[in-house]
Chains A and B, each alone.
Chain A
């Protein structure tokens, strides 16, 4: 077997096993190595062997059986992992937020009732926390499942379209051996992607955790983003965000984060740097920058009375506060954040473009 033929064998096996569940892959790889080298010994030409075996997608279907899936084996492992990460990232912060809220709203403690007040606060916090957490987990589960299901359908449509095109071509070439042109041949085989082109879960996990936790905080606890003061025994807070207008700001904010999440899902599902991942990253990045501009520069995101409220809260401590106040300037903060977001997004797009062009494979979008 020449190195070139061995390469084609590897390409073929890769195209079959990437469509199977992780548990099956190693075993099927060995089986196929055995089969293809046996057939090669028998026939003497790798091209003939692979042509006889036919389209690897069809071969993989035989291994999968004829079941229909909402989310097929090709994506299922990634999907399961993703659901776990998202649910954990949503549930834990929500529980914590509810506990903190409940304890914060606790009535004054006196010596006689301290234990019962604290216990009641914790129980109240846990009850709202668990309710909110269950609701959020259900919606997070739904959003992730929907995204994966759409990708599964799109892939199927793409494969159907490909077949349709082939048969149309063969129709137009009437009379000239209509079958041979629509047949799958080893020429269709893409090279096995470089190890550096593979997108690992580790690359994505930081982004996913950040997006989910930040979303949860923005939805359930926008008042946590605040300036804190201690005045004697009590803690004073002055929110940074404009909570009265939060109903307008939040959806745009969340949309931007969801776009980021969809991009992460697509990267994981495709699993290698390629044109599709690059385009998705660029489109999502640009959308996120546009939405950030809307959130930070157009919408009333900042608490307009922030300076005033701090002054009131500080009261007689105005001296120490005055120094801080000179730094607060809503426009400047907006610009700072925007510059930060644009820089991070452009950096990420840059890395993706570099890796795609350097190591990426020219895989089709299926």
Chain B
């Protein structure tokens, strides 16, 4: 009774791999066609959608922004959008599980390394957007695989009721004022914190490890993902969170919460949020339109309204937040992070725990 079932399964899996391969090849052919198509007729107006007629987007947050972008896009182009919005982890988990039969056309993440891995694995369909040149250097892939259409910088978020003097650098956090009331988003749950820890070590080397040890002695604790970590500062359980994303802080300041954010002098990481078209996309034309849209003036305005840093150099950030020029960046490269990230995080966890 069991035997035929197992063979059936094996057969099914075999088929699955076969179809997957066939699909990939076909799509690659397609990819060549459409990207040339698109260069010849730049002014691709709304309405002429062939494909399935619906665009499927898997996007990381922030929730409000993802919805606003999609709404504005639907309004402008008339293309129906199916949006799945979750955390970067949710999106990646779903993509991984759907590998056998991909559904998404466009993917938007809040973290760079996965996008780079996707590129390496040949899972991204390159597309040269007309706005590519206007983006910040290093925020997009030079082979036009992904575009960091927005970015978040990490800083020290602190409770203004509990901290009198704003910290100016990471080393300030070793002070008495922050003893046992200091946290960092858990790098095992937060991609941005993970990048920061690795990038800091790349720039500072042994001095970086020393700082982490001193911070650990001062009672540094790990507090889940970004927003939960920030919540502990808002509620007063911690007086500061280091390496938390900035836009959440600005959102909460708008809501009247007693918090603020400082960007350390020695530098921090700025994480571009990559958007790309999957190689397996069925609605290539609409997908590329979406990429263009989020890089367009209107799309970038929505980004700025949500307190994120716009990806284009010619669009100003929200007036209530620190502009890009005022934020010192760590000296790091993404390849180093991808290669050594896991080891550094393991060491970091063993120091802090």
| Bind each other | no
